Structure 1
């Protein structure tokens, strides 16, 4: 008979809970030993029972040695992140950002004729030149996107017009025949058809434009 799936919730019966704890604890420590032997890994396992009793396993040395190694590696990791958060590093980043903002403001004033380019040094001129090249590239890219969209819109309108002309020719021919057979009635019907078709074309074109 297949074994039923164990529900992951607290065991209410204290006897069953203690038996399950002992079995699972022994299995956990056994798996830790197997992993250490197979993969040559240093493993430390610490388990506290519901009554506060501690069970531990250190596959290499003792638990205290593993804890010290963990503290040392954790301190190094925190040291690298704290190095980036030092006030000196933050102040340096703020200074660089202020210099970049000042340079961009000078470039804008120069573009609007409010600043003399002769007052800028070589480094400022080179940085300004680089920023201007980026701006020109972005402007050209945006311009090409707008032109491409307008071309697609024109193609759509031309296609609608090409479909409209043959239909209008057909309507004119039908109007002539109907006017010959039934005076006035054919003209009235053809005008209605033409008006509805024109309105439909306008709605179709407006939906594509949107």
Structure 2
């Protein structure tokens, strides 16, 4: 008798596939059995299950699996585990390796301690600000002392080296002041020269204008007087009786 038979039995569960293969070889009437089990997982798209019945079944299975894993974790690792689940209908399901109230209380204490430690402390910040303020006050006091020394005050406690340093600083400051003063004087002198040039130009322009007006002015008629004082061949003004005009040709001589 020589034959071989292969039986394949498969069991399908949601998202899992189990296959069992049995090998029988009867060639030499010695049976050998080989059992192989293989599991293949499919990819699941995580989203809300629309079918209500399927959703409830999945909730029940997943809840049981979650509580089972929590129990295994608490037993294997000696951990304190608690799980709280509310269904869609508001029903409460819970698991706790010890008393649930104690676990929740311990959780609350831990959160309070965590937030206190994580919260920025005000006191160290204030101390740091105080240190910075003290440093700034010392710097201000030092600057005020140096300013008084530069003004010749409080020099009694100064050594020769300090006085020499103050002298150097004063000389340096004087050079800077004198240089700035010279720049300002040069600027003012330049502005005054510009004003002088403008005034001279205006004066020359006015003089030229006056000369042009004199050249273009018409000659006035001359009034001659007779012995009786009446005008002859000319014009007489209201001041003709007081002013006499004579015609004289020749070099100017002193007149009585």
Q: How high is the TM-score relative to the length of structure 2?
A: 0.38
User: Which structure dedicates a bigger proportion of its chain to strand?
Assistant: 2
Structure number with greater CO (CA < 8 Å, separation at least 6) is 1
